Chains A and B, each alone.
Chain A
């Protein structure tokens, strides 16, 4: 009979059934990808805040052992003594003060930066007003996206409230910047002013960004700092070093993600979060069991007919599984392409930062595998016998 049974089953199922299977799976896979992408995106949200896009592959970030970059506080002198041994590996060190402030009813991120660091390592152009100036204590610059969100313009006065200061701070918008992420969604102020908003002064910063020399890998930096580099799976990965102040002693810890510092403080390891996400995906993908039953629900009579013509049930089920696996692979690839080309597919912002959909290898594998598992289960257990 050759592959005639395959053609016969395909014909019997028809385009309508294939379209229903593909659409159902596409919707399910999109939902699963978006749910897991958002959960992981929330988890890595702090990472996006800490490293400028332009140097993300050659930077090591040092932060305090705090819950978030907004509450992190490090001594610049500690960083200088820390980096004195590795100065030959570094091309520069930049400091930033990051805090949350309230403008009207909106919480925004305010970042205190040095003009030189901004000019060297961040891509930006002034689209309105004047360029960033370190010596202005009444001035603020604003990312184009945030300016649009808040509907403010050059010359406008904004009143900011910070958790760390008792008095409101009134600033004048001096310029609107077309600037790379994450700065695009933030208010940029001179470093000193940033410190005032953070309720600190002098020798302090929220984070230090160690810019590595060309050809230097984070592994080399870690080994020089006597930190275990075994967790680094490949070169040029993001590295965060957290400073724990234990009495007068400063202890260093290495993390792959800034958010790992947060989860360590809260006691939930990253693996637990991934396990919870996988559990949600497993439960949500049970729906594909029903998709596996589609031919048995909608084309029952036709299937009976080709079975009577001599096509074994095993072969019919094989064809249904085959169609499903192709549909799952195709829709999954389409979804991945969609998500990678549109990382802000879901228009949700946190502190005006567009939430990026991120993923993890285990989740990447789990989505098609779980969907296929339940689909195959549906195709195998589906029958044409009436109740």
Chain B
């Protein structure tokens, strides 16, 4: 007479199956098909961690300040300057050129914030300042008149000052106005590493994405092999399974226990593969010193990846374990 095992008896079957599986020679095959892809993916994920750690180190090394512009409107505090940016055509009467015009309530504060040097000016308070390169192209100097045209409406301005910064503002016109023309920007001084970090993080994200894509691909390419590893294991222990069956446990229950045991084994092998990947990566970083590359990095595996790989292995191992043991019901 066959019956479903009690909870205690079920645990006994599970323990017996685990012992039988561990004693089987086929466990080596299973270990290979799980440990290899997991250690490769661990190395890839740790590679992306190395990149991120390098980014943090490089960003920290960037000194000085930069001006950052927020497009959304903020409260005007002492440290920030509100400006608007638009394209205008300026003319000296003979030549005209399309340039960037910045309008702000306080030109002096704007120039101070952006560390722009005033080369010539009519007075201390500046109403309109022309970039040095623009002045050279249009052959203009302080006190001269220019015509500024925006959307077919033109006005005349006197150039109050000429500024220089070896930056884009050398080709721009800055005008005092409280009227916002074009796009409004809130300019704020920030440590330069904020921008450096944004650029590097954005680039490193691309590399991290690549590493994750390659990791998933490696595991997917091994799914059929994992199935074969389980199949071999299931076949190698079938005599022991029949013995358990003969003492009255249903094959369905044994199959379920096999799937659970296979999942547990897979998780252990996943941890083993992860540890192996960690050792390989850290050893590789150490070996790099012989090529004169010193990386003061100790990458750690993100918990997220550990969770993903464990969940993925459970999702793969349990159904495969159950399917591969199907042969027992047909005597194979």
Residues on A facing B (Cβ under 8 Å): 20, 23-24, 27-28, 30-32, 34-35, 38, 42, 100-102, 105-107, 135-139, 157, 159, 161, 163, 165-172, 193, 196-197, 199, 201, 266-269, 272, 276, 280, 283-284, 286-287, 289-291, 293-294, 297-298, 300-301, 346, 348-351, 355, 386-387
**How many inter-chain residue pairs (CB < 8 Å) link A and B?**
193
Does B32 contact A168, Cβ atoms closer than 8 Å? no
Task: Offer 19 A-B interface pairs, CB within 8 angstroms, sorted by A.
Answer: A30-B221, A100-B199, A102-B198, A102-B202, A105-B202, A107-B198, A137-B171, A138-B98, A139-B98, A159-B185, A161-B195, A167-B67, A167-B167, A267-B293, A269-B291, A287-B33, A287-B222, A290-B32, A386-B235
Q: What chain B residues lie within 8 Å of A293 (beta carbons)?
A: 29, 228, 232
- Bound-state CA distance A266–B295 (Å) is 11
The chain A residue sitting closest to B219, CB to CB, is A31
Q: Kindly provide the distance from the CB of B135 to the nearest chain A CB, expressed in whole angstroms.
A: 13
- If A167-B169, A355-B210 touch, whether A283 touches B221 (CB-CB below 8 Å) is no
Does A297 contact B171, Cβ atoms closer than 8 Å? no
Does A196 contact B32, Cβ atoms closer than 8 Å? no
Does A105 contact B229, Cβ atoms closer than 8 Å? no
Pick from A105, A166, A169 the residue with the most CB of B within 10 Å.
Answer: A166
Does A31 contact B220, Cβ atoms closer than 8 Å? yes
Does B206 contact A350, Cβ atoms closer than 8 Å? yes
- Bound-state CA distance A193–B131 (Å) is 14
Interface membership of chain B positions 97-108, coded 1 if the CB is closer than 8 angstroms to chain A and 0 otherwise: 111100000000
Does B198 contact A161, Cβ atoms closer than 8 Å? yes
| Contacts A31-B221, A38-B214, A102-B202 supplied; 20 other A-B pairs, CB < 8 Å | A24-B225, A31-B218, A31-B222, A101-B199, A106-B202, A137-B168, A137-B171, A137-B172, A157-B182, A163-B62, A167-B165, A168-B187, A193-B171, A199-B166, A272-B291, A280-B43, A290-B32, A290-B33, A298-B231, A355-B210
Interface membership of chain B positions 235-263, coded 1 if the CB is closer than 8 angstroms to chain A and 0 otherwise: 11101000000000000000000000000
- Bound-state CA distance A379–B207 (Å) is 38
Q: What chain B residues lie within 8 Å of A157 (beta carbons)?
A: 85, 182-183
How many chain B residues touch the partner (CB < 8 A)? 77
Q: What chain A residues lie within 8 Å of B40 (beta carbons)?
A: 35, 280, 283-284
Does B183 contact A170, Cβ atoms closer than 8 Å? yes
B196 at the A interface (CB under 8 A): yes
Does B228 contact A268, Cβ atoms closer than 8 Å? no
Q: What chain A residues lie within 8 Å of B43 (beta carbons)?
A: 280
B312 at the A interface (CB under 8 A): no
The chain B residue sitting closest to A350, CB to CB, is B206
Q: Kindly provide the distance from the CB of A343 to the nearest chain B CB, expressed in whole angstroms.
A: 15
B114 at the A interface (CB under 8 A): yes
The B interface is mostly helix, strand or loop, or mixed, namely: helix
Q: What chain A residues lie within 8 Å of B177 (beta carbons)?
A: none
B308 at the A interface (CB under 8 A): no
Does A287 contact B214, Cβ atoms closer than 8 Å? no
- Bound-state CA distance A102–B194 (Å) is 11
B117 at the A interface (CB under 8 A): no
Q: What chain A residues lie within 8 Å of B206 (beta carbons)?
A: 348-351
Q: What chain B residues lie within 8 Å of A387 (beta carbons)?
A: 24-26, 236-237
Does B87 contact A138, Cβ atoms closer than 8 Å? yes
The chain B residue sitting closest to A348, CB to CB, is B210
Q: What chain B residues lie within 8 Å of A42 (beta carbons)?
A: 207, 210
B149 at the A interface (CB under 8 A): no
* A166 partner, pick from B114, B232, B239, beta carbons under 8 A: B114
Q: What chain A residues lie within 8 Å of B332 (beta carbons)?
A: 301
Interface membership of chain B positions 64-106, coded 1 if the CB is closer than 8 angstroms to chain A and 0 otherwise: 1111110100000000000001010000000001111000000
- Bound-state CA distance A107–B205 (Å) is 10
Does A168 contact B68, Cβ atoms closer than 8 Å? yes
- Bound-state CA distance A291–B133 (Å) is 70
Q: What chain B residues lie within 8 Å of A32 (beta carbons)?
A: 221
Does A138 contact B198, Cβ atoms closer than 8 Å? no
Q: What chain A residues lie within 8 Å of B134 (beta carbons)?
A: 137
- Bound-state CA distance A137–B138 (Å) is 14
